[in-house]
């Protein structure tokens, strides 16, 4: 295995916000706290040590809740040790979160988990007086079923078709026998294929709901590495969150703070999410609907349920589990119940965290370090050899396909397709003509400019026609290049956003996950191309 590194900024797949964050641009500095490097973690540890949020009560409640959530599952000694360690004041979490995509969904789910576990290992070496616990936060309360009910396998969509309402984690696993049957048809009967079948079957056919199925699956894949899996849909954990929920209901603090921050951030960057006046849902079985305040009462959207101010406060005190945070409030919930140092996420996720710092400050909650998760392209030795024969660098493979083909055709063509010199010569000639026009008749300049534009356009058209002709002449090279890039970037997107880990497990088997642990360095802050 070889690991090649490419700057995120040069891949063309990451936003201006993420690129500027990685470049530590000054205009972004007020929107985040400590930077994700060792000095930043040293400062973050001091920040947590000096805060009053990590009380004995919150830690004991967390540990008790985790043990209860794992009560039906077999867990590794390391995971059990990590859960118990959270009782100690010198223990901190590194957290990532993800939806309950069936069979992990896109490949980058694995990269998130590997990034999280590897970072805890690295911090343990750097700060041995502390314990660092890797945490996966299951997004059990989401209700975007269409985003999680499928995964891609070798260009085909494997779909869980059923009706859905309420929080996805509570969904019964009815209908997965059909999904299993369909998936099995594509897998074959090799040793690795049989393992994938047994993994899918045990997770989804032998567990009652999607939360338990996901916990089993992720624990099976990463439990031996000490990963702790948490479900926020938990009454005891929600109880700790009630003061902030009450503030949200009565004072709209998140709306006011996030709106102000978003206005400042939006001067230079695209805003990821827009806050509502109340950023909470009301959650029951088969129901997760927005809480709205209008006509001096609290209403549950699309229902007849209403509360007065006193009634909704009473409901919160008695049934905190019925109040579910939306995208704005979920990060705050996470940071309220976990002794967390860092959140690891993708570019789209981290983008909305940048909108939250002032809100965190207003509610006296430490803002975590934000770390862009590892990204990777898995490429075989044969594919690297093909690229070399085509004289294409790994970095060039990330170009848009049309740009890549144009660039390579121009490079390997026996004739010069670049008319830049001719265009420059033409423009120099027209500079002289414009000077002459000014000396004779200024009104003549318009005609000169028009003629210049016409001739430059003619050169551009000739250049395009010549390039098109050369593409036909070099059709074999163009075809090979297109096939190679399509193999590595399915649907002209990053492989990690479309393919499922099972495609690679079929080939690599139990070597896949250890390979990722060896290859990915969370603080390297570059895109990894893993050659195997």
Look at residue 438 and tell me whether its pLDDT is greater than 80: no
What angle is formed at CA 139 by the lines to CA 204 and CA 78, rounded to 5 degrees? 75
Residue, of 444 and 526, whose pLDDT is higher: 526
Q: Is the dihedral of CA 444, 450, 454, 460 positive or negative?
A: positive
Quick: pLDDT tens for 118-132.
999 999 999 999 999
Look at residue 373 and tell me whether its pLDDT is greater than 80: yes
Look at residue 53 and tell me whether its pLDDT is greater than 80: no
Q: Determine the average pLDDT of the residues in 272-284.
A: 97
CB-CB contact of 257 with 362 (8 Å)? yes
Look at residue 418 and tell me whether its pLDDT is greater than 90: no
Look at residue 246 and tell me whether its pLDDT is greater than 80: yes
DSSP structure class, residue 366: P
Percent of the chain whose pLDDT exceeds 70: 98
Res 220: pLDDT: 98
Q: Point out the least confidently predicted range of 283-287, 350-354, 413-417, 478-482.
A: 413-417
Q: Determine the average pLDDT of the residues in 265-271.
A: 97
Res 414: pLDDT: 65
d(CA 105, CA 100): 8
Ranges of each domain in the chain = 2-237+329-375+514-531, 381-507
Look at residue 471 and tell me whether its pLDDT is greater than 90: no
What angle is formed at CA 396 by the lines to CA 395 and CA 402, rounded to 5 degrees? 145
pLDDT bin (cut points 50, 70, 90) of residue 421 is confident
Res 260: pLDDT: 98
Look at residue 439 and tell me whether its pLDDT is greater than 80: no
d(CA 100, CA 160): 12
- Tell me the helices (H) and strands (E) count for the chain, helix number first: 22, 15
Quick: pLDDT tens for 93-124.
999 999 999 999 999 999 999 999 999 999 99
pLDDT bin (cut points 50, 70, 90) of residue 454 is confident
CB-CB contact of 359 with 258 (8 Å)? yes
Q: Determine the average pLDDT of the residues in 266-278.
A: 97
| Sheet with 2-6, edge to edge strand ranges | 2-6, 527-531, 376-379
Cα–Cα nearest to 463, from 425, 426, 410: 410
CB-CB contact of 2 with 519 (8 Å)? no
Tokens representing residue 391 in the block: 């004289």
CB-CB contact of 152 with 498 (8 Å)? yes
Res 85: pLDDT: 98
Look at residue 416 and tell me whether its pLDDT is greater than 90: no
The CA-atom distances, in angstroms, between 372 and each of 288, 525, 529 are: 30, 7, 16
Percent of the chain whose pLDDT exceeds 90: 85
Q: Determine the average pLDDT of the residues in 141-154.
A: 96
Instruction: Name residue, tokens 């294409």.
Output: 392
pLDDT bin (cut points 50, 70, 90) of residue 437 is confident
d(CA 27, CA 174): 50
DSSP structure class, residue 189: S
pLDDT bin (cut points 50, 70, 90) of residue 464 is confident
d(CA 355, CA 259): 8
Q: Point out the least confidently predicted range of 230-239, 260-269, 337-346, 461-470.
A: 461-470
Look at residue 58 and tell me whether its pLDDT is greater than 80: yes
pTM of the predicted model, to two decimals? 0.91
Around Cβ 466, how many Cβ atoms within 10 Å?
A: 17
Res 467: pLDDT: 62
Helix, strand, coil: what percent of the chain each, to 5? 55, 15, 30
Res 434: pLDDT: 77
Res 530: pLDDT: 98
Look at residue 162 and tell me whether its pLDDT is greater than 90: yes
Average pLDDT, whole number, for the chain?
94
């Amino acid at each position: 295995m070889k690991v090649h590194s490419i700057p995120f900024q040069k891949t063309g797949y990451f936003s201006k916000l993420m690129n500027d964050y990685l470049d530590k641009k000054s205009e972004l500095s007020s929107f985040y706290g400590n930077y994700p490097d060792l000095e930043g973690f040293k400062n973050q540890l001091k920040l947590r040590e000096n805060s009053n949020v990590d009380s004995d009560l919150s830690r004991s409640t967390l540990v008790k809740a985790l043990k209860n959530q794992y009560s039906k599952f077999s867990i590794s000694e390391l995971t059990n040790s990590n859960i118990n360690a959270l009782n100690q004041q010198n223990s901190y979490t590194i957290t990532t979160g993800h939806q309950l995509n069936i069979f992990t969904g896109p490949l980058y789910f694995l990269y998130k988990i590997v990034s999280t576990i590897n970072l805890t290992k690295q911090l343990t070496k750097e700060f041995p007086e502390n314990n660092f616990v890797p945490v996966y936060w299951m997004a059990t309360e989401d209700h975007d079923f269409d985003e999680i009910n499928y995964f891609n396998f070798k260009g085909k969509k494997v779909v869980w078709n059923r009706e859905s309402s309420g929080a996805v984690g509570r969904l019964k696993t009815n209908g997965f026998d059909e999904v299993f049957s369909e998936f099995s048809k594509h897998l074959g009967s090799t040793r690795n294929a049989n393992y994938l079948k047994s993994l899918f079957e045990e997770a989804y056919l032998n567990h009652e709901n999607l939360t338990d199925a996901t916990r089993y699956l992720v624990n099976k894949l990463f439990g031996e590495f000490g990963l702790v899996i948490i479900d926020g849909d938990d009454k005891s954990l929600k109880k700790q969150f009630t003061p902030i929920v009450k503030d949200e209901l009565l004072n709209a603090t998140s709306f006011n703070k996030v709106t102000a921050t978003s206005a400042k951030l939006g001067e230079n960057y695209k805003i990821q999410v827009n806050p509502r006046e109340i950023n909470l849902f009301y959650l029951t079985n088969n129901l997760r609907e927005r809480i709205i305040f209008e006509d001096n009462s609290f209403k549950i959207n699309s229902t007849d349920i209403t509360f007065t101010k006193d009634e909704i406060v009473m409901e919160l005190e008695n049934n905190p589990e019925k109040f579910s945070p939306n995208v704005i409030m979920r990060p705050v919930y996470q940071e309220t119940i976990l002794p967390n140092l860092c959140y690891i996420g993708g570019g789209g996720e981290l983008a909305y965290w940048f909108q939250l710092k002032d809100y965190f400050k207003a509610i006296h909650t430490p803002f975590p370090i934000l770390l862009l998760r590892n990204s990777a392209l898995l490429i075989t030795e044969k594919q690297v050899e093909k690229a070399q024969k085509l004289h294409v660098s790994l970095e060039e493979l990330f170009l848009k396909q049309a740009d890549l083909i144009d660039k390579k055709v121009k490079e390997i063509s026996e004739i010069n397709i670049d008319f830049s010199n001719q265009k420059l010569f033409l423009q120099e000639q027209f500079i002289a003509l414009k000077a002459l026009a000014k000396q004779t008749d200024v009104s003549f300049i318009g005609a000169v400019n028009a003629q210049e534009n016409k001739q430059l356009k003619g050169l551009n058209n000739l250049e395009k026609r010549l390039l098109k002709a050369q593409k036909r002449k070099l059709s074999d090279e163009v075809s090979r290049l297109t096939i190679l890039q399509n193999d590595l970037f399915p649907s002209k997107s990053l492989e990690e956003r479309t393919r499922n880990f099972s495609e690679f497990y079929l080939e690599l088997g139990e070597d896949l996950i250890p390979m990722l642990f060896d290859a990915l360095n969370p603080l390297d802050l570059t895109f990894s191309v893993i050659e195997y």
